[in-house]
Amino acid sequence: MEIATAAAARKVLVVEDDLSMREAIDRLLGAAGFDSAAYASAEALLEGGGGECAACVVSDLRLPAMSGLELLADMRVRGWQSPLILITAHDAPGLREEAARHGAAAYLAKPFRGLALQVAIRAAIAPARAS
């Protein structure tokens, strides 16, 4: 059981509709020592399950059907407590604050540095490791 818990502590799920960005984030996370799984949509993540035991979810804000904020709300309804980090190429005044109000662990505007994402993930999962 301890091995499964350690693996879950490193599992990061990525929801990004842009294939090149999804692959880049997946490679970045692998190089940083995270175990990641990537999804093209929020619906694919929700249908695939596994989100309830992920250390963190990284999601694009704008997705084809369900937005990153809607994904966060749906995760909470399902009882999934994984922190969610929102990323977006469509930053606008007030979006960061709206994301925080909805419970997003972090908000990054594209383009962002890979190190910034790693720092945000580590900060988001640190409280779970402490408990």
**Per-residue tokens: 5:** 């818990």
Domains and CATH numbers, the chain: 2-118 (3.40.50.2300)
Residues 65-99 have pLDDT tens digits of 999 999 999 999 999 999 999 999 999 999 999 99
Write down the pTM of the prediction. 0.89
Residue 79: what residue type?
A: G
pLDDT for position 32: 95
- pLDDT single digits (tens) 98-125: 999 999 999 999 999 999 999 999 999 9
Task: Note if the bond before 111 is cis, omega within 30 degrees.
Answer: yes
